[in-house]
Amino acid sequence: MKILDINSRVFDKSLDQLLKNRRDKIKLSSVSVSKIIKDVKKNGDKALIKYEKKFNKSSKITHNFSQIRKSIAKLDSKIKKAIDVAYNRIYKFHSLQKFKNISYRDKLNNKLEYKYIPIESVAIYVPGSTASYPSSVLMNTIPAIIAGVKRIVMINPCYKGKPNPAVLYAAKKCGIKEIYSIGGPSAIAAVTYGTKKIKKVDKIVGPGNVFVAAAKKEVFGDVGIENMTAGPSEITVVCDKFSNPEWIASDLIGQAEHDPMAQCILISKDKSLIFKVKIEIFKQLKVLPRYLIAKKSILNNSILMHINSDKKIIEVVNKIAPEHLELNINNYKKVVKNIYNAGSICLGKYAVMAMTDYNAGSNHVLPTNGSAKYSSGISVNEFYKRISYIKLSKKGIESLGPSAITLANYEGLAGHAYSVKKRIRSK
């Protein structure tokens, strides 16, 4: 675990270097995706099955509905109820995000409109294989449903061809009818370019590991992706002398268990609390089922920072631009008003990141690796296109046309000017 102290003369330089090293690690981890994408693009299902066998020990691409029903039937009713609760809360909050179309008519009887049109087809990437994330099904699909997307496809890798019943139940709850048991860069390529078994989509959303994130960047342009980097996971926790070190340690571990590349950062004015949290982290790690994954994340990517002023804490948080930010401090109202870069912000000691991952109602697909500086998490807006509609009256073009002609001629675009002149001169 890296420890940085604000009193060090090289604090800023060290922090910059650590953040750069993380970005470089992610880039290096993703160099092999191009070959896989090209293979699937050229060889379709044959290549797709090859990679599923290699990475997920599976030769299946699809599930029959009988298998899906049997799998769901075995699912514990408590899990179903928990998914139902999460579905309702996520749906409620995201339904409030719907945009209104704009219509404007000026004094010349020109009419301008701006309409939100749902994307026709979307692929939802749900991480899987040795883990299962029914929550990711809900977080990605519900905003698409609210936006009015007609075709929603789920891609979810299954280890040894065994689908996860909770993931399938969440998919059923959302009304998803196309489910493919594929994952990684090959899955991204399949829904981008299409195969005999899989029809291509217009956009891909959803979190994944470094290879999935890299693949999405690689195919962007041939298909739409979110306006952010979604994964690997990260959290920054700001705490004070009143914070509970056991709670803080569990918050950090909760993020670390996602992925060896996950990043956990702790910031506090209180040195003694930092060391208490450090001790508690290694104590709690010992009993964690995903111990090896979390340990790698903690040892390689964790940063503990002692910073003695709110001003500097705010500056550092905005520089990190974390996916998840917890302000576990008494004066969070004072601090939060100056924080502009974060995927989501949890306020106070009870607003824990884990709740936002499941049923608080907000979305957990959030910008990572500094992309919170320019992008946002998944919302209903992610699944719309925006189209402008323009209707000009005869009076309108005659009034506005001369200035448009002036600008067109200035830019050396005589054809533009001529197309306007023709309409002005016509009687």
| Residue numbers annotated as active site | 323-324
Q: How far apart are CA 84 and CA 77, in angstroms?
A: 10
Tokens for 88?
């309702």
What secondary structure does DSSP assign to 180-231, as a single string? E---HHHHHHHHHH--SSS---SEEE----HHHHHHHHHHBTTBEE-SS---
Q: By C-alpha distance, which of 273, 263, 248, 344 is closest to 303?
A: 263
Beta bridge partners of 42: none
What phi and psi values does residue 292 have, to the nearest 5 degrees? Answer: -65, -40
What phi and psi values does residue 80 have, to the nearest 5 degrees? Answer: -60, -45
Which letter, b or e, does each residue of 344-379 get, where b requires 16 or more Cβ atoms within 10 Å of its Cβ? bbbeebebbbeebbbbbbbbbbbbbbbbbeebbbbb
Helix, coil or strand: residue 348:
coil
Q: Are 126 and 156 in contact (CB under 8 A)?
A: yes
Total residues belonging to the chain: 427
Q: By C-alpha distance, which of 193, 116, 188 is closest to 149?
A: 116
Q: How far apart are CA 192 and CA 200, in angstroms?
A: 5
Helix, coil or strand: residue 406:
helix
What phi and psi values does residue 307 have, to the nearest 5 degrees? Answer: -130, 125
Beta bridge partners of 204: 123, 225
Q: How far apart are CA 405 and CA 419, in angstroms?
A: 9
Q: By C-alpha distance, which of 272, 275, 280 is closest to 251?
A: 280
Q: How far apart are CA 271 and CA 311, in angstroms?
A: 17
Q: How far apart are CA 295 and CA 287, in angstroms?
A: 11
Residues in contact with 80: Cβ distance below 8 Å, sequence separation at least 6, in sequence order: 169
